[in-house]
Amino acid sequence: MLELGMTMDYAQLVMDNEIARMIKQAVGGIDVTDEDLAVDVIKQVGAAGEFVSHEHTFHHFRRVQSTTRLIDRRMREAWLADGAKDFTQRAYEQAIDILENYKPDPLPAGAAETFRAIIEEAEKEYGVKKK
């Protein structure tokens, strides 16, 4: 338990974030409207028709399909040809990239003062003595 609080695996954090995004999308539910269900397209193409190349599918599939940056969903041959990097390897690469290249947006003017005021109010409320 002590070790858990003192060490951190950045790749694990990146993987957890990826999984959390996918769960968030899954529990967000499915829109059930005539447009989302492609009712008009089904009438036009027919129940046994081919929908993959239809314009409606093209405009909607990325919005409803779970996307991932780290999980490779390609066919095995393509994955092998591209180096066969697994979820963990991809996560380490992304974590290293973030640590080396991420530049956070600066906080808006006055944010530090607002934070300080909130902290001082909490310290006063909970009786925290300043050293």
Given a cut of 70, whether residue 81 has pLDDT beyond it is: yes
Q: Which domain holds residue 107?
A: 3-126
116 lies in a domain? yes
> For residue 83, what pLDDT is reported?
94
Total domain count, the chain: 1
- b/e per residue, 94-104, with b = 16+ CB within 10 A? bbeeeeeeeee
> For residue 65, what pLDDT is reported?
72
> For residue 35, what pLDDT is reported?
84
131 lies in a domain? no
Written as six digits, the tokens of 52 are: 């993959």
pLDDT band at 67 (very low <50, low <70, confident <90, very high): confident
13 lies in a domain? yes
> For residue 51, what pLDDT is reported?
83
57 lies in a domain? yes
> For residue 57, what pLDDT is reported?
84
73 lies in a domain? yes
- Cβ atoms of 87 and 15 closer than 8 Å: yes
Average pLDDT taken over every residue of the chain? 88
34 lies in a domain? yes
Per residue in 16-63, pLDDT (tens digit) is 999 999 899 889 888 888 888 888 988 888 878 888 888 888 888 777
37 lies in a domain? yes
- Cβ atoms of 70 and 18 closer than 8 Å: yes
> For residue 130, what pLDDT is reported?
75
Q: Give me the mean pLDDT over the 98-126 stretch.
A: 94
